[in-house]
Amino acid sequence: MERIEFNALTNISKGIMIEPIKLIEYAISLGQKGIAITDFMDIEAFPKVYRYIKDNNISNFKVIYGVKIKVIVNESLITINVIVKNKVGLKNLYKIISLISKNKYMGIKRDELVKLGDGLLYGLDLNKMLDIYDNLSNDDIKRDMMWYDYLFVRPCDKIYHNRIKELIDIAKNSRKIVIGTGEVCYLKKENKSNYKERDLDATYLKTTKEMLEDFSFLDSDTSYEIVVKNTNLLNSLISNIEIFDDKLYLPEINDSKKDLIENVYCRAKAIYGDKLPSEVSDRINLELYGRSFRKDKGIIGSNYEVIFLIYKKLVSLTQVNYPIMERGKVGSSLIAYLLGITNINPLKPHYYCKHCSKFYFEDKYETFRDMPDKICKCGKKLLKNGYNIPIETYLDYDISKMPVININFPIEIKEELEKNLKDMFPDASLIKAGVYNSKYNKWGIHPGSIMIIPKNFEIEDFTPIKYLNENLKATYFDYHDLNKNILKIDFLYHDIPSILKKLKDSTNITPSLLFTDYKDVYEYLNTTSNVIIQKLEPKTFYDYVKIFGLYHAPTLLNKYLKLIESKKITLKDIIITREDFYNYLLTLNIDSKEALEISKSLGKNNMDNLKKYDIKSYYFDIFESCPFLLPKAHLISYTSNYLKIIWYMIHYEKEFNDCKIDKCII
């Protein structure tokens, strides 16, 4: 039987060199069945370690979650180890960490630990108690030991051997579990020279044999008992802990499913008429219920309707005075469009007449903005819309991926937005999203993100609280580790909505959100000295979308320019978004599910997947070097808003200059 180490630190603790994953890998290589991570006053290693164990399906090794903390006892400050025994203990440990953060890491009173002891094991380091216990009687020592669930001793200098023996005897007579541990601060013996801290007790992760040799000053039965038998006994009291589960705990809105469906169909009929075209209703049904009306898929089946309703309410605050400026992929969703969250209609470019239910797609154009005006047979002018954005690249093939909604809000209404969110969920706990910068080893907050802990839950059901100052608290864990469990609402801020409002107020003119004629803007841009525009010769709205995207992807820009200059392609052949690449694959009669998987895995290591298809050869080189492409909806939104600003600059030059808008933003 191999021993289990209950006192190991990682590079989360100051001065320690061991990466958490390396610690686990090495313990496994030694044949050990578990290890306790006990960083000093910190548990930031928990998410990383948990993900590693889960992602690699490691079932025969137990990570024991713990922490080393300072405790105030009768005005003295001692250090103890806290080990998580079960799920209840995990929450209590989170509360302890929250208190420590609130106390500015000065320590925690033992009385507070008593209240939070359920599900936890408190361990006392006897080596560090030698001086204190020298001044106490054996009865007083026994009384003090009774407070702890286990005691541990470490290899020590020869002069302390007899005293350690005495304390072990006192502990055993008090029926306390005594274990032998190290103070693991570096991984292997040969790493000692790299360990910079002046901690004489620090050691490497030792084998069972090495530890038994370290405790050879005890009789053989006692050394085996504390090094092997008792460490395994203590381990048997500890459950396998799930730091995170895979369930999303969303806040509740009464009748949310009914509310969303009614809003969607009300707006759809207002746009397309009471008799919805099948192309519209099919897309609505696909997004709401997934493929084949699966009860557990789609926005409704996955319970994501609350997310859309939250953003519907937030965006409605801005629509009166400010234009919507979407970012990311939310414009891929027809549901988001019908709820007024986005101005981008993701259906294929189409003509429609809501008076006589005329509806048809126009495949010759990449967006409706470049389609010519037409008259319906009923005599009315045909309306047009659509940007050809598939839902699959946003919510995945089975329409079950959690939607991420990002909107650029004007900074002026920051307080109003956050107050509105609190008013929506008065019984929930709202907390800033914490973020960890590994490059600088610094904690901070995401500048515009708030996480919602639903009613009937406490923050510590998911994460400790990190108090950044008296009035500012955030999730202790990085929000990326919490995204699968609790909802993050992003308040992202941008100058453009404020600029467009300023221009609208100054001129009393609002360019139509859908049907502004940008031909004069294109003519103006084509007369500038911009080298890229001169080389690519854009003529349509979507040409400018591509150019905007290329400006943000220099590698792509250079490669496409070479192809243009050598006359191998034209601007029409340029693919700048993952959605367009997916749509391109569909034109080659590739199965839609497979096309999605291919488009999701661009990059050097995945080009072999493409070679069995009749794909134009230059795309191999293009996408091998650029695995990340900006979302189509994002580029459309940004391009549209920039073109609006240029429109004002052309037609209202005085008002534009009076607004003191820096032309470099264009």
Bridge partner list, 123: 81, 150
Spatial separation of the C-alpha atoms in residues 257 and 263, rounded to whole Å: 10
Q: Where are the domains of the chain?
A: 5-236, 411-493, 495-665
Single pTM value for the model: 0.91
Return the CATH class of domain 411-493.
alpha beta
- Contact yes or no for 320/411 (Cβ under 8 A): no
Question: Helix (H, G, I), strand (E, B), or coil: what is residue 5?
Answer: strand
- Contact yes or no for 176/150 (Cβ under 8 A): yes
pLDDT at 223: 97
Spatial separation of the C-alpha atoms in residues 480 and 437, rounded to whole Å: 12
- CA-closest candidate to residue 7, choices 66, 61, 92, 91: 66
- Please check whether the two domains, 5-236 and 411-493, share a CATH topology: no
Report which DSSP code applies to 614.
-
Spatial separation of the C-alpha atoms in residues 478 and 438, rounded to whole Å: 11
- Which residue shows structure tokens 């707006």? 267
What would the two tokens of residue 75 be?
């005005």
| List of long-range contacts for 298-303, beta carbons under 8 Å, 24+ apart | 298/399, 298/400, 299/260, 299/335, 299/395, 299/399, 299/403, 300/257, 300/260, 300/261, 301/400, 302/399, 302/400, 302/402, 303/248, 303/250
pLDDT at 605: 62
pLDDT at 606: 67
pLDDT at 662: 65
Q: What is the largest CA-CA distance in the chain?
A: 104
Phi, psi at 474, each rounded to 5°: -145, 170
Bridge partner list, 326: 407
**Residues 464-477: tens digit of each pLDDT:** 999 988 778 999 99
Sequence-separated (6 or more) residues with CB below 8 Å from residue 75 = none
pLDDT at 469: 80
Report which DSSP code applies to 615.
-
Question: Do strands 62-73 and 76-84 pair parallel, antiparallel, or not at all (unpaired)?
Answer: antiparallel
Write the CA distances from 442 to 67, 95, 342, 464, integer angstroms.
Answer: 20, 22, 35, 17
What is the block-wise mean pLDDT of the chain (666 residues), using blocks of 10 residues? 96 90 97 97 95 94 97 92 98 97 92 96 96 94 96 95 96 96 93 72 94 96 98 97 93 96 97 94 96 84 96 87 89 97 96 90 92 92 96 95 93 90 94 84 83 96 91 92 94 89 87 66 87 90 94 89 92 93 92 89 70 84 80 95 90 84 58
- Contact yes or no for 298/290 (Cβ under 8 A): yes
Sequence-separated (6 or more) residues with CB below 8 Å from residue 87 = 119, 239, 241, 242
Tell me the CATH number for domain 5-236.
3.20.20.140
